């Protein structure tokens, strides 16, 4: 069913959608900015919500002042947002629901669970802000998180949008950031966004978190710059018996990062239904990452249109080379490719072919390869093996193929030449010796 509207008791029209699914009702409360129509057109968002319907009936809405809902004339309070959720449940015939709040919506979700406990079965908080403090775990922290954002808006709204988009999109390529800025601009005016944030200055949800009496899952990405990870850790510390999952990513929107979505969905399904029907399968694989050298500078030099044509050629050539050596493209990363191969020798031969193909397309790439066990869900791979491969690629220079002693040991006697490259401190992994493919 498409977008529908309800009218609140104070006359505001709220846009909402209901996706019938196999399981209990789940209400998704977005961050400060949302847009149902635009989110449906973003493949990663659409795929995430479709997967949720495999184990839940999913209700989404644009909060007052954003997206397709009516604009606002004054800062909404947490109580006002809670009454809007009540109206949404009533309009959709839902007596109770699992409530999932992300970013600003996490604060709305916790307040709703406290003010209307009779209508909440379970709670899910994803990269949620818990109070108006830069660091909720630091007793000496006094900086106003939301006042800082408001000050940035007043100084330079365009720069503010750019910085927020950089924190949300996966990969900071100019094209992705540009799309993120366009989404934000189309979803709220500067005035209404400022009103929403002003309603949060000095708000502190911490004192009552200990009163939450429903099972709660807290998810946060480790390098989130929009809402730092200590907000998630604070929720996990203060909510009784909360389950905490920290995912390694720098995005503020975990549902956009294909590397962590399978783990996120598995945790949500386990929390919602008590089981994981779409079980992550553990596989032995060889993972390859490529990254275009100086992609930002090149895009600025040739312009958006030419860069888009170059990227399309690069991605087409990359897919053909990967498949030529028995691999499959797991995903394109904006300025590179992630691929999986059944054997390390196929991955290394594919790596050489990818370097040659990139040069023919007019760019140079860096390549990293690692072999090990990974989890596979819905054709996506995640786990330490994937992380190591990505970190190794980041250490390579132009047209260089780096790998690990694991890979060089597995292909010993196959005719490949290697030499020691350097020892690197891989973020989140530790110190590793890297090997260069000759």
Note the pLDDT of residue 282.
78
Q: Which residues partner with 372 through β-bridges?
A: 285
Region of 343 (left: φ > 0; alpha: ψ -120 to 50; beta: rest) is beta
3-class DSSP state for residue 124? strand
Q: Are 23 and 57 in contact (CB under 8 A)?
A: yes
Query: Which of 86, 67, 89 shows the shortest CA–CA distance to 15?
Result: 67
User: By the 8 A CB rule, do 218 and 130 touch?
Assistant: no
Residue pair 86/120 in contact by the 8 Å Cβ criterion? no
Cβ 144 vs Cβ 201: under 8 Å? yes
Could you tell me if 92 and 117 are in contact, meaning their C-beta atoms sit under 8 angstroms apart?
no
Alpha helices in 74-226 (DSSP H): 78-91, 104-115, 145-155, 157-168, 174-187, 190-198
pLDDT for residue 405: 96
Residue 390 · residue 339 · CB < 8 Å: no
Q: In the structure encoding, which two tokens stand for residue 382, read together?
A: 């995640």
Q: Is the C-alpha dihedral spanning 138, 141, 147, 152 positive or negative?
A: negative
**Domain boundaries for CATH 3.30.70.1230 within the chain:** 281-437
Q: How many CB atoms lie under 10 A from the CB of residue 275? A: 9
pLDDT mean by block of 10 residues, the chain; 438 residues: 91 96 94 93 89 94 95 91 97 97 95 97 96 86 83 92 83 74 90 88 92 96 91 96 90 85 86 70 91 84 84 90 94 87 96 93 93 82 86 94 96 94 86 95
Q: Tens digit of pLDDT for each residue in 214-257?
A: 999 999 999 898 899 999 999 999 999 999 999 888 889 998 88
Q: Which of 212, 160, 189 is nearest to 33 (CA)?
A: 189
Map 259-295 to HEC letters. CCHHHHHHHHHHHHHCCCCCCCEEEEEEEEEEEECCH
Could you please state the CATH topology (level 3) that the domain comprising 281-437 is classified under.
Alpha-Beta Plaits (3.30.70)
- Residue 327 phi, psi dihedral angles, 5° rounding: -100, 180
Q: What residue ranges of the chain are covered by domains with CATH 3.40.50.1820?
A: 4-273
Q: Residue 383 CA to chain centroid, in angstroms?
A: 16
Q: Which of 332, 317, 327 is nearest to 348 (CA)?
A: 327
Would you state the pLDDT for residue 212? Answer: 97
pLDDT of amino acid 343: 95
According to the CATH classification, is domain 4-273 in 3.40.50.1820?
yes
Residues ≥6 apart with Cβ < 8 Å to 139: none
In this predicted structure, what is the pLDDT of residue 16? Answer: 98
Q: Do β-strands 365-377 and 401-403 pair in parallel, antiparallel, or remain unpaired? A: parallel
pLDDT at 176: 77
pLDDT in tens, 106-115: 999 999 999 9
In order of 168, 247, 413, the CA distances from 251 in angstroms are 5, 10, 41
Q: How far apart are CA 289 and CA 393, in angstroms?
A: 6
Please report the pLDDT score of residue 294 as a whole number. Answer: 86
């Amino acid at each position: 069913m498409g977008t529908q509207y309800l009218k609140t008791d104070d006359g505001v029209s709220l846009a909402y959608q209901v996706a019938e699914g196999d399981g209990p009702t789940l209400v998704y409360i977005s961050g400060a900015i949302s847009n149902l129509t635009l989110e449906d057109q973003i493949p990663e968002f659409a795929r995430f919500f479709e997967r949720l319907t495999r184990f839940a009936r999913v209700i989404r809405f644009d909060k007052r002042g954003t997206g397709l809902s009516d604009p606002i004339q004054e800062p909404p309070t947490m109580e006002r947002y809670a009454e809007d959720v009540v109206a949404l449940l009533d309009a959709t015939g839902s007596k109770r629901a699992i409530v999932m709040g992300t970013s600003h919506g996490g604060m709305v979700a916790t307040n709703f669970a406290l003010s209307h406990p009779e209508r909440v079965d379970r709670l899910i908080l994803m990269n949620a802000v818990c109070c108006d403090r830069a660091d909720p775990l630091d007793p000496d922290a006094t900086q106003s998180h939301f006042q800082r954002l408001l000050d940035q808006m007043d100084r330079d709204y365009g720069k503010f949008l750019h910085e927020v988009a950089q924190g949300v999109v996966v990969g900071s390529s100019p094209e992705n950031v540009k799309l993120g800025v366009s989404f934000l601009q189309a979803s709220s005016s500067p005035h209404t966004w400022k009103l929403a944030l002003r309603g949060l200055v000095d708000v502190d949800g911490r004192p009552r978190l200990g009163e939450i009496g429903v099972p709660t899952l807290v998810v946060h990405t480790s390098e989130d710059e929009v809402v730092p990870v200590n907000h998630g850790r604070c929720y996990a510390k203060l909510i009784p018996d909360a389950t905490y999952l920290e995912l390694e990513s720098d995005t503020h929107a975990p549902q956009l990062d294909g590397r962590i979505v399978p783990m996120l969905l598995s945790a949500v399904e386990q929390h919602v239904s008590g089981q994981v029907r779409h079980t992550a399968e553990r596989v032995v694989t060889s993972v390859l990452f490529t990254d275009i050298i100086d992609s930002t500078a090149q895009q600025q030099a040739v312009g958006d249109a030419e860069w888009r044509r170059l990227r399309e050629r690069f991605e087409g050539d990359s897919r053909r080379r990967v498949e030529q050596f028995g691999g499959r493209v797991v995903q394109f990363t904006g300025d590179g490719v992630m691929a999986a191969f059944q054997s390390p020798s196929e991955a290394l031969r594919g790596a050489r072919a990818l370097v040659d193909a990139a040069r023919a397309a007019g760019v140079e790439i860096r390549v990293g390869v690692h072999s090990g066990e990974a989890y596979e869900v819905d054709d996506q791979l995640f786990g330490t093996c994937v992380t190591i491969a990505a970190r190794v690629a980041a250490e390579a220079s132009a047209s260089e193929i780096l790998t690990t002693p694991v890979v060089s040991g597995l292909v010993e006697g196959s005719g490949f030449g290697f030499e020691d490259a350097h020892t690197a401190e891989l973020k989140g992994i530790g110190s590793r010796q890297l090997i260069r493919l000759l």
